[in-house]
Structure 1
Amino acid sequence: MYFPVAFQVLFLAQLAALGWGANLRILSKADIEVRPVLQLAQLPTAHRNDDRPDDGLHQNVFRLARVLAAVTAAGWLLSALASSPAMRTWLTLLTYIVLVSIVVLPQRILYHTVRMQFLGSLVRIVVPSMVKPVFLSDIIMADILTSCARTFADIRLVACQFVSLAWPSEVSTCTDTGMVGALLVAMPYAFRLRQCVNEYLNAAPASAEAKRHFANAVKYASSFPVICLSAMHRRAEIEASSGVKQSGWILRPAFGLWVLAVAFNSLYSYYWDVAFDWNLGHTRSGWKLADFVVPPASASSAPSSLPRAADEMSELAVSRELVTPGDALARDIYEPTTKRSFPRLLRPQLRFARTWLYYAAMAIDFLLRITWTMKLSSYIRIDQMAFGGFWLNVLEVYRRWQWTFLRIEKETAL
């Protein structure tokens, strides 16, 4: 079957885009207004919505995804029917050029607002800043990029194919010794780490908010030892295949350190998903999983995504002076946790009625968190299986898809 890495990358990107549209669609059906949660109106590039304003955000995302998918499918089909490898590479390059041109097109056509929001988010993620605000939409986008970490290394292989068209003699320079691939895999984690450091520096010193951002930064920093040790092993394998003798006393401890790094990163990341990103793990006595990092005595009383002025509003809301009788959500937010009855290990406020979805999400997230380390590592040669790496990427796209649901739902249930 003709399904090279170049089109695997495009397919995964299309799948992630369609998944984002599905997120928005299902959240809309659940009466969750996504635009204020994502702070879209506060973005520096915010402007009027000229993408069929009467339609929902998810409809414009779906329409743009369909256009890009049609171009990808046409390019893949033409490449599969090409008679020579060189022609296939040219058609693949043309497909990439058309797709990139559509996304960056400055004219107010082809769902301009959605495209500009996407590009603006990428720019804010990539360009370092320690003073500018970090929007929830950028946080979610950066987290999605971490799920595509190995795809960044695959894009390098695609670029090497394109380089071979113009400079065939330079193909040898594209041989991956493990280090370049490791840097590309680490890039999304570095972007997200920078956001955490940014939020930490802008939080009040020694506050619960600062502690939370610092602990979150530790989570992303813990991915670097996994990536570096995997790259070290990959380089040793390449040198061994070239006849260079390797010292076992170096590789054996490196493998042990890799196991420890993987265990810490995977379990800590899973804990963070459940305790902080989803705000689950509450008990009826008032204790919750997040108390391991932010003790209840110092926990902030207002959600981090709200402006500081919301703290004063919440105090007034508790006294019921500013909460109207019809404002059921506000009453739920400030009802004391100890007086509420809720499903075990979840939380008092749930926007989805089917509680088994939360339990299933926790179980699936744990399994896929562990499985994803197979793709990050060169110790486990999953790529030797037929499309093994591709299917692991698909599973990670699904994991991030379900994570996004509860990440946004949590913000509206606080």
Structure 2
Amino acid sequence: MESGDAVSLATSFPLPFRVLFLIGLGILAWAINLHGLHLLGIDASSALELHSGRIFLPTTSPPSRAHSSARVSYMPVYRLFMTYATWCFVGWSFFRLATHSNTILVDAFKYIPAVCSLGVLIALICPYEMCQKRERDLFFQSAARCLFSSVNSPVYFSDVVFADVFTSFAKVLGDVWLSLCMLLPGGSLLSLPSLDGISQWILPTLMSLPYLIRFRQCIIEHRSPTNASKRPLFNALKYASSFPVIFLSAAQRIVVLELAEGKGESVTQESWHGEHPLFRLWLLAALLNSLYSFWWDLTNDWGLNLLKPQPAESRISAPRPLVFPSLHSKAASISGSPDVTQSHPSSSHQVLGGAIYRHQSYPYGLRPVLLYPLPVYPLVVFFNLVLRMTWSMKLSSHLYSQSEGSALMLWLEVAEILRRWMWVFIRVEWEVVKNAQHRSQTSNSTAPEEVELMPSNRSDPMDD
């Protein structure tokens, strides 16, 4: 028996339209990411290799025209979103006008969301020059590279970001399958399809696909001849930790059916069965996955020192004088970003290779080089922690029958897309900072005196 809010949501905003809405939100979030990075002075085109065509949103202008090429990289995505949103909104409006929130008419007009979804699919694979064909083609190229690239091929940073964003749509991927079952003959938009037999494993398998892709990328990175670190293996462990959450949740459906035989059908409406060891094991797996993922975000994806053991003297050690004092007079930034000393004018800095590296005291838990205003980082860390702890709920298919029909699950999916949107800003910023450090090391490796610019986990010093 569906609850009142579940029926209301199913009649006014059924699952197929919710899937289309979340996909559109993801497109808009990515356009804002590219636009925001450009406005903030972060060279996303270089970090994501937009000029090389390795990502699904490339530029079409020569690299020398920095301003226009950056604009080209996000404007096609905005146009794609506007076309997509207009089509979906028109389809949803027709559905609302036809049904008038009448539950009797919902299934009679379910062909409207079916036609709307089919139109999106046709536009996606259309071979003609329409609906930003270049972006659509390169989207398929990036997806194919993530799925089918050789184990001996390199893993580009753009593909890593693409696959990580894909993990935030794991629940949406499962919803695509459920929507298909609803729209086919015999299905209903008012209730979830019954998952029995082998079909009960299709949903968790689809949801685990994005994590399997990132797991594969990590193994490829580990096997690379240029890799001498175990970090890709620990990263692979993070993605592998999501599999127990997904499949233990799917296994609970079987346990619920067994409990229902002895306790009645009412037990199927309960989301928690603490007396069974399987449910406690799922809770432990969800907790470990969330905490490990949160630690990895801060320490490795964002380069922050909050959860990283680090001696105090390594953060406040004073640098040796520069060999070339004239470098101090340059006004420079990291890859086109604003002067990072503006946030903390008391910090000393050195200018090398067109980049500013701050190396004395900095806010606890952050890092010496910050390209955004200081309040951004603690806020993003807080929201990331909260949303990481709730993300495991959306990977748990045994909770669908209790929350799928309500607005709660929809808002949790929206929150995860917003979390990933914030994650991209800091992730790309950290990549730009690392690239600037690497260029500085390379360009100054033949200088007569060595000087340490900022703490590093590597033992070799930077040369000035």
Aligned partners of 1:286 and 1:338 also within 8 Å: no
Q: Distance in 1 between matches of 2:108 and 2:368?
A: 59
Q: Distance in 1 between matches of 2:333 and 2:28?
A: 30
Question: 2:214 aligned to 176, 186, 192, which one?
Answer: 192
Question: 2:139 aligned to 113, 118, 137, which one?
Answer: 118
CA pair 87-193 structure 1, distance change in 2 beyond 3 A: same
Aligned partners of 1:286 and 1:337 also within 8 Å: no
2:281 paired with 1:257: yes
Aligned partners of 1:86 and 1:165 also within 8 Å: no
| Local SS of the residue matching 1:164 | coil
Correspondence list, 1:8-407, <5 A: 8-43=18-53, 49=60, 55-83=71-99, 84-127=105-148, 129-164=150-185, 175=196, 178-204=200-226, 207-208=228-229, 211-241=230-260, 252-281=276-305, 285-286=313-314, 326=330, 328-329=332-333, 339-352=359-372, 354-378=373-397, 383=403, 386-407=406-427
TM-score, L = length of structure 2: 0.72
Instruction: Spell out, residue by residue over 1:224-243, the C-alpha distance to the aligned partner (whole angstroms, 9 max, x if none).
Output: 11112111112221344466
CA pair 36-105 structure 1, distance change in 2 beyond 3 A: farther
CA pair 268-158 structure 1, distance change in 2 beyond 3 A: same
Partner of 1:299: none
TM-score, L = length of structure 1: 0.80
Partner of 1:409: 429
CA pair 320-36 structure 1, distance change in 2 beyond 3 A: farther
Q: Among all aligned residue pairs of Structure 1 and Structure 2, give the percentage whose two residues are the same amino acid.
A: 31
Return the offset for 1:139.
1.1
Q: Distance in 1 between matches of 2:394 and 2:160?
A: 23
Per mean C-alpha deviation after superposition, the further-off stretch among 334-343 and 6-15 is 334-343
| Local SS of the residue matching 2:368 | coil
Q: Which has the larger radius of gyration?
A: 2
Return the offset for 1:108.
3.1
Return the offset for 1:140.
1.1
CA pair 370-203 structure 1, distance change in 2 beyond 3 A: farther
Q: Distance in 2 between matches of 1:73 and 1:233?
A: 37
Instruction: Spell out, residue by residue over 1:194-238, the C-alpha distance to the aligned partner (whole angstroms, 9 max, x if none).
Output: 111111111446x23xx1111100000011111121111122213
Q: Distance in 2 between matches of 1:162 and 1:156?
A: 10
Per mean C-alpha deviation after superposition, the further-off stretch among 64-73 and 175-184 is 175-184
Per mean C-alpha deviation after superposition, the further-off stretch among 335-344 and 60-69 is 335-344
RMSD over aligned Cα atoms: 3.4
Partner of 2:441: none
Normalized per residue, the structure richer in helix is 1
> Any stretches of 5+ residues in structure 2 without a counterpart?
1-7, 62-67, 100-104, 268-272, 316-321, 335-349, 435-464
Q: Distance in 2 between matches of 1:54 and 1:139?
A: 21
| Local SS of the residue matching 1:150 | helix
CA pair 103-379 structure 1, distance change in 2 beyond 3 A: closer
CA pair 324-149 structure 1, distance change in 2 beyond 3 A: same
Aligned partners of 2:250 and 2:398 also within 8 Å: no
Return the offset for 1:163.
2.6
Return the offset for 1:351.
0.9
CA pair 325-332 structure 1, distance change in 2 beyond 3 A: closer
Q: Give the partner amino acid of 1:252.
A: H
> Any stretches of 5+ residues in structure 1 without a counterpart?
288-317
Partner of 1:292: none
CA pair 28-54 structure 1, distance change in 2 beyond 3 A: closer
Aligned partners of 1:160 and 1:174 also within 8 Å: no
